[in-house]
Structure 1
Amino acid sequence: MTLPGQDGESRCGYVAIVGRPNVGKSTLLNHLLRQKLSITSRKPQTTRHNVLGIKTEGAVQILFVDTPGLHQNQSKAINRYMNRAATTAIHDVDVIVFVVDRIAWTDEDEMVAGRLADVKCPVILALNKVDQIDEKNVLLPHIQTLAARLPAAEIVPISALRNDNLDVLERLITERLPLGEHFFPQDQITDRSSRFMAAELVREKITRQLGAELPYQMTVEIEEFKQEGATLHIGALVLVERDSQKRILIGDKGARIKKIGQAARLDMETLFQCKVMLKLWVKVKTGWSDDEWALRSLGYDG
């Protein structure tokens, strides 16, 4: 059997990875690309922006769009921004991968399913983290329940973290891509800037190391990004909303911010393939996460 793309016909299309927070969307993107692009943590709402990941193999170019988790809490401007970003992606793609977590089905999953009810493009439901299901006999009845909820969707059990069944998922995606020329060069992996990627890496390390200690009223802005010889100099400003958050982030005698900087620098050197000198500053900017103008100035502009 000839698979799509193997017949020499060029295929290219956008694929939105959607779902509620913390179901493994960014981990799925990274493993499909076979390299780290989206930041990850165990904390919900780690992803705040749509991130494009480009995978080109032969005649097939898949443009994955990792989206923020769709959630019901829209009390702040940043929450509304994330929901707008994800909703926009749903209506601008050729294929949708709806990621759900094992045998759980929440009100937010139901909300996502409702938003997909009227889409015109194919929907693939990726049942993630199946390796963590202890009682395998509950899997088939759950798949049947999901099939009743989304009768038009193709359902595929996967484990993004363990790469289980991702080849099947990718084949299903490729079969649904439209014929067409590639939009990006073969060696390009994203349309995001290096400054954006640097800011995201710093934010990932903060989220991972602080967890519940620091609320999500934190963002990162790159103020310096300059190559000098073989060394890339990066200066990052971390914005928080209260003095108490600043103290937590800096830590005793600066120990915590130093540890965050060291971890981020190592990832940056891997990403940018050069020596990196990273400097971090922390500043209080009260109310930035609920200020539409401040969000736009910080790059939350859709």
Structure 2
Amino acid sequence: MIDTIPDSLTISDSFLFRFSPFQIVPNDSAGIFFKPDAMVSHISVDAGYAGMPRTFPQHESSIFFLFFVFCFLLFSLFYRSERKTLFANFKNLLGFRRRSTAVYKEQVTIREIWAEMFLLFQTLLIFSMVYFVYFWDRGIADMLQGNRYLLFLCVFFTLGAFVFFRYLIYSFLGIVFFPFRIRNWLGKYLQIIELIGILSFLPAFLCVFLPEIAPFAFILLLTVFFMSRLGIMIAVLDIFVKNKIGFLYFIVYLCGIEIMPYFLLYSGLISLITVVGSIVL
């Protein structure tokens, strides 16, 4: 007897294109009955490799690279003309000596003012890029497809407002506790921010463009940050001791001026992400 029933399974499109239900639905060895227990653990889509970093967008990567090149070229330009002043400032800063012990200038040049402003801008720009990459790795920036640049600008201006707010606080404290050294104290605060930007340039570059060593670069950034905070604390302690201000006031200063603002900055960044996310939604 001749079998006249066509074998529909051999000409099925799902089999021809290797997309059979038997390949994506767990069943027993005979291929007849389903296995409900295996349905939960079955994964039909490749989930990738654990620990693999998310791909950073090419457009933002190119812009960040141009930012780093821009900072490097301008720093080289100012370094050629103002390197003696920069070395003198940082030497006095690291040695916690007065500025007049190294280099004394009768008049501050316009080029030196532009160099100071650029170094402050470089510090804000570098840490804004680091924060943006951190948000991207955590999937926060990816949720803001049409407002990623808005997020970057908000982070930049938030950091700028934070630096300016601390500058006002230091100005007030200087007027109250040491009015005769207020100019030297404010200059030292700005020099610390400038030095942070210079020392953070290479670790930030590695953190943005080399994700394989990003954890090591992030540790270097944290080291630079804590060393700068330690330098400020030592400088303030020196001023408190020379002006015979009680140690209790120094503890209050550390808690209220050096520690609390960073918790406020963290809360501000979280609120910023929430606001930008609500705009997108």
TM-score above 0.5, yes or no: no
Structure in which a larger fraction of residues adopt helix: 2
Structure in which a larger fraction of residues adopt strand: 1
What TM-score, normalized to structure 1?
A: 0.23
Q: Radius of gyration: which is bigger?
A: 2
What TM-score, normalized to structure 2?
A: 0.25
